């Protein structure tokens, strides 16, 4: 019986989404396809989203986009992205991120696109980490 339980728990995927409040509010997920990191720095105040490839480089392109798929589909685009010196990460900064946060929270898949490169992320299990992330700035001010 213990073997059956051990196999069940080993076969069950762990929630990959993680939240950290220090040094700034951070929401992350890593998979074999890449890493996505969302931050909020209340001192500035500014949000960022960074998508990092496990290998290869992002192509330069005029527009970075994200598409969120399932219950509340939305697509967003910007031309204010920056690519890291090694080419593996693309980052977007802004003072308002409600569309990004809603897209992540209320859908099951997210796709980041720049040039011919698209990276997909599974959003299942994001709920508790997103709740903590959304509460983080308020908690830091009290």
**Per-residue pLDDT tens over the stretch 21-63:** 999 999 999 999 999 999 999 999 999 999 999 999 999 899 9
The CA distances from residue 47 to 3, 112, 135, in Å, are: 45, 17, 14
Q: Where are the domains of the chain?
A: 13-135
> For residue 83, what are its two tokens?
């690519």
> For residue 25, what are its two tokens?
């509010």
Q: What is the pTM of this model?
A: 0.85
Given this model, what pLDDT does residue 71 score?
87
Q: Which CATH number fits domain 13-135: 2.60.40.1880, 2.40.30.10, 3.40.50.10800, 2.40.50.100?
A: 2.60.40.1880
All residues at 6 or more sequence positions from 87 whose CB lies less than 8 Å from its CB, including other chains: 56, 57, 58
For residue range 97-140, list pLDDT tens digits in order: 999 999 999 999 999 999 999 999 999 999 999 999 999 976 54
């Amino acid at each position: 019986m213990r073997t059956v339980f051990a196999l069940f728990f080993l076969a069950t995927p762990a929630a990959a989404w993680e939240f950290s409040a220090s040094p700034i509010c951070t929401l992350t997920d890593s998979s074999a396809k890449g890493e996505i990191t969302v931050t909020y720095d209340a001192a500035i105040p500014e949000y960022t989203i960074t998508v990092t490839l496990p290998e290869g480089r992002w192509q330069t392109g005029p527009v970075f986009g994200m598409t969120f798929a399932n219950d509340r589909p939305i697509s967003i685009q910007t031309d204010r992205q920056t690519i890291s010196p090694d080419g593996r990460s693309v980052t977007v900064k802004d003072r308002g991120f409600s569309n990004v946060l809603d897209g992540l929270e209320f859908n099951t898949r997210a796709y980041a696109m720049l040039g011919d490169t698209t990276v997909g992320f599974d959003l299942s299990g994001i709920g508790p980490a997103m709740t903590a992330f959304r509460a983080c700035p308020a908690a830091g001010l009290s």
